[in-house]
């Protein structure tokens, strides 16, 4: 671990921390592609197809942009590209949040009165996994905020993000794209 950053400066990770930051998100790119493909294969209607594509692209993009940013940050010779990718990396978090909501809001049938009056919001299938994912994201933020204080804090944050994303993917796969639908249609 390198020295802590001074006020208003960005922490400069050590070589091994750069590698850990690249690996901890880079390894999830291919599984994310496979995950999107699985959602697409299980799709039974246009809403599921669209949701698989939107969610899958945001999931893949999250890991691709993060990995690209950390690769360029490691090389440290493309300041402008690094700054652009850093903004994209941060912005992708918000896009991924929207992409994660998309399947729940498009596949689930809601009453005509609208989703605000829908009492199933008190409990619905997948709530446990979504709650677990939320808890993992929150604990991960604690490490994100300790970048430069705790060794490998950013890589640990990436691990929490990956686990939380997996918990949410698991909920989407099992509750919005159940295998039972595929077996009855064959």
Residues within the annotated binding site?
154, 158
Binding residues for Zn(2+): 154, 158
Helix axes 29-42, 46-75, angle to 10 degrees: 170
Reading the block at residue 79, the tokens are: 């300041």
Reading the block at residue 78, the tokens are: 């493309």
All residues at 6 or more sequence positions from 146 whose CB lies less than 8 Å from its CB, including other chains: 153
CB 145 within 8 A of CB 2: no
All residues at 6 or more sequence positions from 140 whose CB lies less than 8 Å from its CB, including other chains: 156, 157, 159, 160, 161, 164
**Alpha carbons 182 and 145: distance in angstroms, whole number:** 43
């Amino acid at each position: 671990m390198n020295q802590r950053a001074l006020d208003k400066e960005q922490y400069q990770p050590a070589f091994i921390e750069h590698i850990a930051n690249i690996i901890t998100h880079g390894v999830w790119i291919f599984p994310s592609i496979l995950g999107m493909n699985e959602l697409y294969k299980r799709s039974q209607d246009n809403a599921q197809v669209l949701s698989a594509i939107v969610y899958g692209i945001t999931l893949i993009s999250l890991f691709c942009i993060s990995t690209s940013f950390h690769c360029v940050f490691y090389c440290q010779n493309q300041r402008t590209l690094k700054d652009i990718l850093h903004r994209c990396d941060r912005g992708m978090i918000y896009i991924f949040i929207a992409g994660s909501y998309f399947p729940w809001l498009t596949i689930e049938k809601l009453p005509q009165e609208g989703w605000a009056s829908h009492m199933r919001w008190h409990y619905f299938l997948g709530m446990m996994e979504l709650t677990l994912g939320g808890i993992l994201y929150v604990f991960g933020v604690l490490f994100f905020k300790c970048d430069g204080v705790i060794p490998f804090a950013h890589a640990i944050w990436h691990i929490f993000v990956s686990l939380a994303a997996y918990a949410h993917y698991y909920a989407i796969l099992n509750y919005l794209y159940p295998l039972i639908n595929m077996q009855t249609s064959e």
